[in-house]
Amino acid sequence: MKIAVINGSHRGKKGNTHIMVSAFLKGATEAGAEVVNVFLSEKKIDYCKACKACWFKSPGKCVIKDDMADIVSLIKDADIRVLATPLYLDNISGLLKNFLDRMMVTASPYWGKDREGECRHLTTEMSPQLVMIANCGYPERSHFQVISHWIKRHARNLNTEVIAEIYASQGALLGIKENEVGTIVSQYLKVLETAGREIATNKQLTNETITRLEQKFIPDEIYIQEVKKYVDGMLGAAR
Ligand SMILES: Cc1cc2nc3c(=O)[nH]c(=O)nc-3n(C[C@H](O)[C@H](O)[C@H](O)COP(=O)(O)O)c2cc1C
């Protein structure tokens, strides 16, 4: 079992997204999975030019010379691809979107209809099952509605399926290690380790793990007050 993570956080190894991914991969590794963890923030990936040379002139090869070809060869035999991102303006990050556009190099240019009668790319050798991991700054889980809808559409388009969606609101708390909040976050990260183990073992999460992953860290009102104090402090220091 090989799991490839694509981390689309602009903050890379310092990001809250990485805190989630690290815990998930710890569990997956313990369960015997081989893991690859790609930080897009450390890579040079230009925009897709939409020239379609990768389909019609040099099939499977992109004309742009940057880090993309190395990433494709690193993740091409993965059984599961994890897309990890901070929520940016209700969506995935620009880094991740840019990477996914460039992944068209691996899609078949031929289309076929799915069971619902909608067109999609025909299966290629690269249609791993998908796991979505995201965190956001706001406290409500409703902010993930767009990503949750999008990842299912994306999987359909690539002729694969989503096997898990893991979302953490109140993302500003993920890095806290002290006091009661630190204890709550460390318990949450243990559940994420369990999630990694379950995905590596059974390619699915148990209902218990799904429920535990959906718990908020602290009540929304307290979170909002704490964020206000933080903003006041930062602006005060800047004056
Ligand atoms: C450009 C930008 C846009 C953002 N948009 C949202 C948003 O729409 N909703 C939200 O809840 N948080 C938003 N955030 C907050 C991030 O999702 C949050 O800080 C997250 O923890 C960052 O993860 P990271 O540390 O891995 O980058 C935004 C942050 C940035 C920098």
pLDDT given at position 237: 81
In whole angstroms, give the CA distance from residue 107 to residue 127: 9
In whole angstroms, give the CA distance from residue 49 to residue 90: 25
The domain segmentation of the chain, as residue ranges, is 2-238
Atom 29 (ligand 1) nearest CA: 88
Q: Where residue 239 falls among pLDDT bands split at 50, 70, 90?
A: confident
Residues whose beta carbon lies within 6 Å of some atom of ligand 1: 9-11, 15-17, 86-90, 135-138, 143, 171
Task: Select from 3.40.50.970, 3.40.50.360, 3.40.960.10, 3.50.50.60 the CATH code of 2-238.
Answer: 3.40.50.360
- Ligand 1 centre distance from Cα of residue 194 (Å): 25
- Per-residue pLDDT of 61-99, as tens digits, reads 999 999 999 999 999 999 999 999 999 999 999 999 999
Q: Can you tell me which atom of ligand 1 is nearest the CA of 169?
A: 11
- Between 195 and 158, residue with greater pLDDT: 195
- Ligand 1 centre distance from Cα of residue 212 (Å): 23
Q: Where residue 4 falls among pLDDT bands split at 50, 70, 90?
A: very high
The pLDDT of 100-125, averaged and rounded, is: 89
The pLDDT of 178-206, averaged and rounded, is: 97
Which of 81, 91, 86, 190 has the alpha carbon at shortest distance from 131?
A: 81
**Rounded to two decimals, what is the model's pTM?**
0.97
- Per-residue pLDDT of 24-42, as tens digits, reads 999 999 999 999 999 999 9
Atom 3 (ligand 1) nearest CA: 88
Q: Read off the tokens for 30.
A: 């313990």
